[in-house]
A and B are shown apart, each in its own frame.
Chain A
Amino acid sequence: MIQAILVFNNHGKPRLVRFYQRFPEEIQQQIVRETFHLVLKRDDNICNFLEGGSLIGGSDYKLIYRHYATLYFVFCVDSSESELGILDLIQVFVETLDKCFENVCELDLIFHMDKVHYILQEVVMGGMVLETNMNEIVAQIEAQNRLEKSEGGLSAAPARAVSAVKNINLPEIPRNINIGKPLLPAPACGA
C-alpha cells in the first residue's frame, strides 16, 4: 500500500499532498516539512530509499523519492510494494504529467493542482496502484478532459488562463522538469 504521495519543491513548498490515511492538517504539514528535511540532505547520486522511521506508520514504511529539477516526488509505501516498482511508478506519473501538460514544469503543478490530482487518481487509487500503462492513463485523462470541455468547463476560458499564466514572467521561472531516459527499464510501461 501507498500511504502518502508528496510533491514539493526544492524549498519545501508543497505542490501536491495526498494522504491515503487520515492525518489532521497540521500533522500533514509537519510530515511534509520533515520529509523535505530528510530528502534535502541527500545528494542526487545516492540511493532513493529512506527508512521513514517515526514519520508515518513506522518501520514497515519506506520513503521512495525521485528528484526532478525543482521538484521532489516522494512516495511513502509499506513493504508490500516493490521498491524499484515504485520508482518506476514515479517515473510513469511524471511522464504522464509531462504528456498531459506538454513539457511539464513546476508552474503547471502550482497552478493546476486539481488537474495533477486528477492525473494521480488515474495512477493510484486509495493507496493502491491502479494503472501503470501510461497510454491508458493518458487516454482516460483526455477522455475526461473532453467530457469537461463539452460541459463548458469550470470557468469561461480555462485554456486561455493557462497560457496567460505560462507567459507571465515570474521572478523564479523553473526549468522544465528534466525527464531523461528512465534509469531502469520501466517494467510495465506497456511500450
Chain B
Amino acid sequence: MALKMVKGSIDRMFDKNLQDLVRGIRNHKEDEAKYISQCIDEIKQELKQDNIAVKANAVCKLTYLQMLGYDISWAAFNIIEVMSASKFTFKRIGYLAASQCFHEGTDVIMLTTNQIRKDLSSPSQYDTGVALTGLSCFVTPDLARDLANDIMTLMSHTKPYIRKKAVLIMYKVFLKYPESLRPAFPRLKEKLEDPDPGVQSAAVNVICELARRNPKNYLSLAPLFFKLMTSSTNNWVLIKIIKLFGALTPLEPRLGKKLIEPLTNLIHSTSAMSLLYECVNTVIAVLISLSSGMPNHSASIQLCVQKLRILIEDSDQNLKYLGLLAMSKILRTHPKSVQAHKDLVLQCLDDKDESIRLRALDLLYGMVSKKNLVEIVKKLMSHVDKAEGTTYRDELLTKIIDICSQCNYQHITNFQWYISVLVELTRLEGTRHGHLIAAQMLDVAIRVKAIRKFAVSQMSALLDSAHLVASSTQRNGICEVLYAAAWICGEFSEHLQEPQQTLEAMLRPKVTTLPGHIQAVYVQNVVKLYASILQQKEQAAEPEAAQDVTQLMVERLPQFVQSADLEVQERASCVLQLVKHIQKLQAKDVPVAEEVSALFAGELNPVAPKAQKKVPVPEGLDLDAWINEPPSDSESEDEKPKAIFHDEEQRHAKQRQPEAEEEELARRREARKQEQANNPFYIKSSPSPQKRYQDMPGVEHIPVVQIDLSVPLKVPGMPVSDQYVKLQEEREHRQRPEKDRRRRKKKDKDKRGKPRRHSSLHTESDEDIAPAQRVDIVTEEMPENALPSDEDDKDPNDPYRALDVDLDRPLADSERLPVQKHRNAETTKSPEKEDVPFVEKKIKKPRKKEKKHREKEREKKEKRKEEKEGEDFDFWLSTAPLPAAAPAPAPGEPGANTVTAAPEGGGEEPRREERGDEDEDGDNERDPEKASKHKKKKPKKKEKEERPKDKKKPKKKQPPGEEAAEPVENGALADEPLPPMSSYCLLAENSYIKMTYDIQGSLQKDSQVTVSIVLDNQSSSFLKGMEFNVLDSLNTRLARPEGSSVHDGVPVPFQLPPGISNEAQFVFTIQSIVMAQKLKGTLSFIAKNDEGSTHEKLDFKLHFSCTSYLVTTPCYSDAFAKLLESGDLSMSSIKVDGISMSFQNLLAKICFHHHFSVVERVDSCASMYSRSIQGHHVCLLVKKGEKSVSVDGKCSDATLLSNLLAEMKATLAEC
C-alpha cells in the first residue's frame, strides 16, 4: 500500500498538469483535435488510478477541455470522487468541474446528496463555501428538497462568508423546490437586517429577484426596504432596492408617493451614475403608476427628463444609451415632456453607434404626431438609403411601419402618402421584412376604403415592375409585397385603370419563379381580374375583346398548372377548367360576366385576431355535453349502476329536449337573420360589390386633395412620398389663417375667464391638423359581447409561478422543510464519513422535538404579527398627503390617508445600536428569532441581563417561544394598538362646507409651507367657483398666481358635488418661523341647488403653529450626540402630569403631531429629533415618570423651542 502511494507520486511527476496541457494544445495548433483526444485518453488512464491527487489533476484538465467545448459528462462519477476528497484543494477542483458540467439530467448527481450535506456542515468555512458555490450551479429539485433545511441552518452561520452564500443559494432552492419558500422566508427576511453588509446585500438580492416575479407578495416588506433605502450607503443594495420599488409601485400608488421625495433627494445628491440612473428609472415607474396631472409631479418629470438629457448629451456612450432607454419609458406616459427633446433624439439617429441609433428609433415611435409624422418618416427614409448593414436597415424598416401604423394609424392624415412610402420601401433589396410591408399594404387597402383606388393603381404598377419578381430567391424577401399587390389588384379590380394590362403582367412567364404561396394568390386573383374585365367588356358590348381575354387566360394558365407547388397546381387546374367552360359559353354568345363575378361577390372584412376565442359561450350551452348520445357499447355495463340513481331524471330530460330544440332553433335563426341584417360587415347575398361601393355613403364624396396623380404614379419605385411633405405644408399654410382666427378668439375668452388655464400649451396640438382625406378606418371585427380578458397572455409554464405564494400567512404545522433521515449512513465507507452524521444526529434529535413546540409558538406569534403588519403597512403608507384629485376621506377616520409622520419609527431606530452587541456573541445569532421584531424593540439593558441566562442553556437552542411569553412591553404593544390619529384639524365649518387643514413644510424650500385643505361639501347644493383668500401679514403670505394683486383670492381648482370632499393645496411663503401665526381668511363660493344659486362665504383663521414648520428627519444617534455636545443649542424644559397613556403611544403621538423621529429609546426614556424648514435642529429628551412626562428640549433658536414646547404641552395634556 505504502509502496503504491510512493509509486503514485513518482508517476505524477510525469503526468501533465493543467499548464502542460494548455502548453501542449498551444504547440499543436495544426492537429489540436488529435492532440486533445490523446490527452483525453491519458486523462482516462489517470482517472483509473487510486491516487486522489492524480484524479484531481485529471479532473482539472477536463474542466479546461470543457471550456473548449468537449463534453466531459462521462467523467461525472470521477468528479464526484474528487468532490468527496478530504483536502480542500481537491474538493475545490471537483466542485468546479461539477458546476461546469452537472445539470438536472446528470444521473449520478443523486449520489452527491450526502457528500454535499457533509461539506455543508464541515467545520472549515471554505469547504462549506465551495460546496455552496458548486451547488448553486447544479441544484436539482431533489437536492433542493433534501438540503433545504441544511442550507437554511447555514443562513444563521457565525461566519458572514457562509451566511451570504447560504442566503444567495436559497433563491435557487426556492426555484427548484417552491415549497421551501414559505418556511424559509422569515429567516430570509431577518437577513435583510444582518449586521454584515455582504449578507444584507445578498438578502436584498434574493428578495428582489423573488419580488420581481411576484411583486404583490412582497408589498408588506416595503416599509423595511424603505428604511434600508434611507439608511444604506451601499450603492449595490440601493440600486437593487430602488429597482425593487420600481416593481412594487405599480401595485400600490401610495407607496410611489412616499418614494418620490427620498428618490428625488438621491437624484440630487448622488455622484454615482448607476444609482442616479436607477433612481430616475424608479421615479419614472412611480410617476407612471400615479395618476398624472398633479402639479408637484410635473416637477419630478421635469427633473427626470433634465437628468436624462444630461446623460444623453454625455460623451460617454453608455450613459447616452441608458438615457435614451429611460427616456422611452417616460415617453409612454408623458410624451409631451419628451417631445420637447426631439432635436436630441434626431441627433442620436446619426450616431455612429448602432445600439444608440436603435434606442433613438424606439423613442421616435412615441414622438410622432399628426404634425411631424411625415417629416420624421422622411428622415428615416433617408437613413434607410444610407444605412449599411441589413440588420439596421431592416430595423429602420420595421420602425417606419411601426410608427406609421401605431394606434390604428392615428397619426396618418394622408394615406396616399403612406402607400407611397410603402411602395418606396419595396425598393429595399435584401430585406427580410417583405411580409411586413405586404401586411401593411393589405391592411390599409382593406381598412381604409377611400384609399383603395389609389392603392390599386400603385399595386398594379408594382406588379408591372420587374425588379420585384427578380428578387424572388430570398425567403421572406421583398417579393412578398407581390402577394399583397396581386391580392389588392384582384379584390379591388373595379378600381383598376387598365385591368387588362395588369392581367397580362400577372400572367407573365416570369411569375412562375415566385414562391408558391404568391403564385397561388396570383392565380386566384387573376380570375377576379378576369371576372371584372369580362363584366366591363360585356357592358361595353365588346364580345370580341372579352373572348380575347379568355383566350389569353387559356393560353397562360397552363404554366401554373405545371407548377410543382400543389396549391398553385390545384387552383390553376380549377381555374383553367372554369375558363375553358366560359370560353365555350362565349362561343355561343351567352352572357357570362354576371355569373363569373358572382363567384367573388361580397366584401371581406378585417377580423380581430382573437375574435374567435372571444366569442362568449351563450347561456345554457354546455360544450361538454353530448350532442348525440355516445355509441351504445359503453352503455352496456358501465352505465347501468349509475342509472339506478338518475334514471327518471334522464328520461325526463330526453323527452323534453327535441321540442325545446326546435323552438329554440327557430328563434335563434330568426335572431341571427335580424342581426345579420343590422350588421354592415356581414357578407350578404346583396348586389355585386361594384354597386355597393357606389351606394356607400362618403366614398365618392370624400374630399380628396387635388394632386396630379398621373405623373408620379405611373413611374413605379420613384421616391414620391416627398411630395406629400410639400403638400402638407401647403395645406397647413392654407389652414393657418383660420386657425389663428380661432386661436385669437380663444385667447379673448381666456382673458375674460380663467387666467390660470394653460390653454396656450395646447394650441399647437394635433387636433388642429385636419386630415387630407376623411378616412373611415374600419376597426377589426369582434364578436358583439366579447369578454375583455387577458388571460390568454399568461404562460402556464412559467417557473416562477410556483413561487407565487402568500408570504404573510402564518406557517402551518405541515409546512416544514424536510429534515434529513439517516437512511444511508451505513453505506458510506470511509471513517470520516461515519462520524459526521453521528454528530449531526446528536444535534438534531433534541431539536426536532423542540421544533414542533417552536413551530406552534411561532405560528401564534406570526398570526399576531401578521395582523399587525397588515395594519402597519397601510399605516406606513398613509403618511403621504393625498393627491388633490382624489377625494379625501373624512379626517379622523381610522387609517385615513391623511397622516404626516410615521410613529413606527419610534420603536425601530435603536436597532442600529444593538448590532455591535450581536457581533460579539456569535452563538446567539444562530437563534432565528434573535433579530426579530420583538427583540429589537426591547431595551438594551434588558438584553444584557438576559444574556448570561442564555449561555447556560444548551447552545443554539433558545426557544423563541419563551421570549414571547415574557411579559415585556411588547405584549402590551401588540394588544394596545395605536389610536387612530389625524393631523388634519378643523379650520371652519358652516351648513355648506367643512374645512379641515394640515400644514407641511419641506426641507428643500426653506421659506415655504404647503397648506392642504380638505373641503367637504356637507350640503345638498353643488358648490362651485370657490375662491380662497387670506389677509397676508408681513411675515406670512399666500403665494398667488403671477399677475394678481395681494387682495385677489386663489381659485380652488375643482368643484364639489353634494357630499363630496376634495383637497386643495396652497403655498405660503414665510420669513420667520420662530413664532406661531394666525391668518384671517375667507372662502367664497357659489352654492347651486334646485332653487337657484347663491353667493356664500366662510371665514376662518389659519393657525400656523411652530410645529408645522418642522419636518420629520431621521437622525443617527452618533450625529445626535455630536449635536448635543456642540453646545450651540439653547435649552428649555416642560413637565406634564396626569398622563396615563403608554410611553410607546406617547412617543408615537409626539412623532406624529409634532413631526419628530425617535433617535434612541431606552426603557421609558427617549431621545427625539426634528428639523425646521429653515434648518433649526430640535432635540428632545422625553422621560416618563409615574403619571408624568418631562420633556427637555434643545434647539438652535430659543424662541422657537419655547413655542414648540408650549405646543407640545398642549398635546400632551390631552393624553
Binding site for B on A (CB under 8 A): 1, 14, 16-18, 20, 22, 24-26, 28-29, 43, 45-51, 80, 82-85, 87-88, 110-114, 117-118, 121, 125-133, 136, 140, 143-144, 147-148, 151-156, 158, 161-162, 165, 170, 183-185, 187-188
B133 near A121: Cβ-Cβ < 8 Å:
yes
In the bound complex, CA of A182 to CA of B530 (Å):
72
Interface extent on B, as a size class?
A: 35 or more
Residues of chain B within 8 A of A85, CB atoms compared? 235-236, 239, 274
> Which of these, B71, B272, B358, contacts A187 with CB under 8 Å?
B272
Q: Mark B815-832, 1 if CB is under 8 A from A, else 0.
A: 000000000000000000
B169 near A126: Cβ-Cβ < 8 Å:
yes
In the bound complex, CA of A94 to CA of B87 (Å):
29
Answer whether A136 and B198 are a contact pair too, CB < 8 Å, given A14-B67, A114-B63, A154-B60: yes
Residues of chain A within 8 A of B132, CB atoms compared? 125
B18 near A114: Cβ-Cβ < 8 Å:
yes
Chain B residue, CB-CB nearest to A132: B236
A84 near B273: Cβ-Cβ < 8 Å:
yes
Residues of chain B within 8 A of A84, CB atoms compared? 273-274, 277, 318, 322
Q: Is B735 an interface residue (CB 8 A)?
A: no
B67 near A26: Cβ-Cβ < 8 Å:
no
In the bound complex, CA of A158 to CA of B93 (Å):
15
B278 near A82: Cβ-Cβ < 8 Å:
yes
Within 8 A of A (CB), among B163-202: 164-165, 168-169, 171-172, 198, 201-202
Task: Determine how close the nearest CB of chain A comes to the CB of B772; give it in whole angstroms.
Answer: 37
In the bound complex, CA of A18 to CA of B126 (Å):
21
In the bound complex, CA of A46 to CA of B352 (Å):
8
User: For A113, A118, A148, A155, which residue has the most chain B Cβ atoms within 10 angstroms?
Assistant: A155
A140 near B96: Cβ-Cβ < 8 Å:
no
What 7 pairs across the A-B complex have the smallest Cβ distances?
A: A126-B136, A187-B235, A84-B274, A47-B317, A46-B353, A29-B69, A22-B103
Q: Is B1176 an interface residue (CB 8 A)?
A: no
> Which of these, A20, A28, A155, contacts B137 with CB under 8 Å?
A20
Q: Mark B47-83, 1 if CB is under 8 A from A, else 0.
A: 0000001001100100110111111000000000000
Complex A-B: 19 CB contacts under 8 Å: A25-B69, A25-B71, A82-B239, A82-B243, A83-B277, A84-B274, A87-B318, A112-B18, A114-B18, A121-B133, A125-B165, A128-B206, A130-B168, A130-B198, A131-B164, A148-B92, A152-B89, A154-B93, A187-B239
In the bound complex, CA of A26 to CA of B73 (Å):
13
Answer whether A83 and B198 are a contact pair too, CB < 8 Å, given A25-B71, A151-B89: no
Q: Is B313 an interface residue (CB 8 A)?
A: no
User: For B89, B165, B206, which residue has the most chain A Cβ atoms within 10 angstroms?
Assistant: B89
A125 near B53: Cβ-Cβ < 8 Å:
no
B136 near A125: Cβ-Cβ < 8 Å:
yes
Within 8 A of A (CB), among B216-247: 234-236, 239, 243
Residues of chain B within 8 A of A88, CB atoms compared? 274
Q: Is B854 an interface residue (CB 8 A)?
A: no
> Which of these, B103, B137, B161, contacts A126 with CB under 8 Å?
B137
Residues of chain B within 8 A of A188, CB atoms compared? 234-236
Chain A residue, CB-CB nearest to B15: A155
Chain B residue, CB-CB nearest to A131: B198
Answer whether A151 and B88 are a contact pair too, CB < 8 Å, given A22-B103, A82-B243: yes
In the bound complex, CA of A20 to CA of B235 (Å):
25
Task: Determine how close the nearest CB of chain B comes to the CB of A87; give it in whole angstroms.
Answer: 7
Answer whether A144 and B356 are a contact pair too, CB < 8 Å, given A85-B239, A155-B57: no
Q: Mark B92-128, 1 if CB is under 8 A from A, else 0.
A: 1100100010011000000000000000000010100
Chain A residue, CB-CB nearest to B27: A170
Within 8 A of A (CB), among B437-476: none
User: For A112, A125, A131, A165, which residue has the most chain B Cβ atoms within 10 angstroms?
Assistant: A125
In the bound complex, CA of A126 to CA of B126 (Å):
17
Answer whether A128 and B209 are a contact pair too, CB < 8 Å, given A14-B68, A25-B71, A82-B243: yes
A49 near B243: Cβ-Cβ < 8 Å:
no
Residues of chain B within 8 A of A170, CB atoms compared? 26
Binding site for A on B (CB under 8 A): 12-13, 17-19, 22-23, 26, 53, 56-57, 60, 63-64, 66-71, 87-90, 92-93, 96, 100, 103-104, 124, 126, 130, 132-133, 136-137, 161, 164-165, 168-169, 171-172, 198, 201-202, 205-206, 208-209, 212, 234-236, 239, 243, 271-275, 277-278, 316-318, 320-322, 352-356, 358
Residues of chain B within 8 A of A125, CB atoms compared? 132-133, 136, 165, 168-169
In the bound complex, CA of A117 to CA of B317 (Å):
30
Answer whether A184 and B57 are a contact pair too, CB < 8 Å, given A47-B356, A126-B137, A147-B88: no
Residues of chain B within 8 A of A26, CB atoms compared? 69
User: For A117, A121, A129, A161, which residue has the most chain B Cβ atoms within 10 angstroms?
Assistant: A121
Residues of chain A within 8 A of B208, CB atoms compared? 80
In the bound complex, CA of A142 to CA of B277 (Å):
35
Answer whether A144 and B168 are a contact pair too, CB < 8 Å, given A25-B66, A151-B87: no
Task: Determine how close the nearest CB of chain A comes to the CB of B793; give it in whole angstroms.
Answer: 16
Answer whether A80 and B12 are a contact pair too, CB < 8 Å, given A88-B274, A155-B17: no
> Which of these, A28, A113, A118, A127, contacts B69 with CB under 8 Å?
A28
A50 near B355: Cβ-Cβ < 8 Å:
yes
B243 near A111: Cβ-Cβ < 8 Å:
no
Residues of chain A within 8 A of B60, CB atoms compared? 114, 154
B355 near A143: Cβ-Cβ < 8 Å:
no
Residues of chain B within 8 A of A128, CB atoms compared? 168, 171, 202, 205-206, 209
Residues of chain A within 8 A of B206, CB atoms compared? 128
In the bound complex, CA of A185 to CA of B53 (Å):
44
A49 near B168: Cβ-Cβ < 8 Å:
no
A154 near B53: Cβ-Cβ < 8 Å:
yes
Chain A residue, CB-CB nearest to B57: A154
Task: Determine how close the nearest CB of chain A comes to the CB of B239; give it in whole angstroms.
Answer: 5
In the bound complex, CA of A22 to CA of B102 (Å):
9
In the bound complex, CA of A46 to CA of B320 (Å):
10
Residues of chain B within 8 A of A113, CB atoms compared? 18, 22, 63-64, 67
> Which of these, B18, B63, B88, B202, contacts A111 with CB under 8 Å?
B18
User: For B13, B88, B104, B320, which residue has the most chain A Cβ atoms within 10 angstroms?
Assistant: B88
In the bound complex, CA of A113 to CA of B17 (Å):
12
Chain A residue, CB-CB nearest to B18: A114
A156 near B13: Cβ-Cβ < 8 Å:
yes
Task: Determine how close the nearest CB of chain B comes to the CB of A13; give it in whole angstroms.
Answer: 9
A83 near B322: Cβ-Cβ < 8 Å:
yes
> Which of these, B53, B88, B275, contacts A148 with CB under 8 Å?
B88
A25 near B70: Cβ-Cβ < 8 Å:
yes
A47 near B63: Cβ-Cβ < 8 Å:
no
> Which of these, A22, A47, A110, A183, contacts B355 with CB under 8 Å?
A47
B317 near A45: Cβ-Cβ < 8 Å:
yes
Task: Determine how close the nearest CB of chain A comes to the CB of B818; give it in whole angstroms.
Answer: 21
Chain B residue, CB-CB nearest to A117: B96
In the bound complex, CA of A17 to CA of B869 (Å):
45
Task: Determine how close the nearest CB of chain A comes to the CB of B921; give it in whole angstroms.
Answer: 23
Task: Determine how close the nearest CB of chain A comes to the CB of B28; give it in whole angstroms.
Answer: 14
Residues of chain A within 8 A of B353, CB atoms compared? 43, 46-47
Residues of chain A within 8 A of B172, CB atoms compared? 126
In the bound complex, CA of A87 to CA of B235 (Å):
14
Task: Determine how close the nearest CB of chain A comes to the CB of B462; give it in whole angstroms.
Answer: 32
In the bound complex, CA of A126 to CA of B358 (Å):
32
B321 near A49: Cβ-Cβ < 8 Å:
yes
Answer whether A111 and B165 are a contact pair too, CB < 8 Å, given A47-B355, A49-B355, A125-B133: no
Residues of chain B within 8 A of A80, CB atoms compared? 208-209, 212, 243
Chain B residue, CB-CB nearest to A139: B161
A155 near B12: Cβ-Cβ < 8 Å:
yes
> Which of these, B53, B202, B273, B355, contacts A51 with CB under 8 Å?
B355
A187 near B236: Cβ-Cβ < 8 Å:
yes
In the bound complex, CA of A161 to CA of B13 (Å):
13
Residues of chain B within 8 A of A17, CB atoms compared? 67
Residues of chain A within 8 A of B321, CB atoms compared? 47, 49
Chain A residue, CB-CB nearest to B53: A154
Residues of chain A within 8 A of B26, CB atoms compared? 110, 170
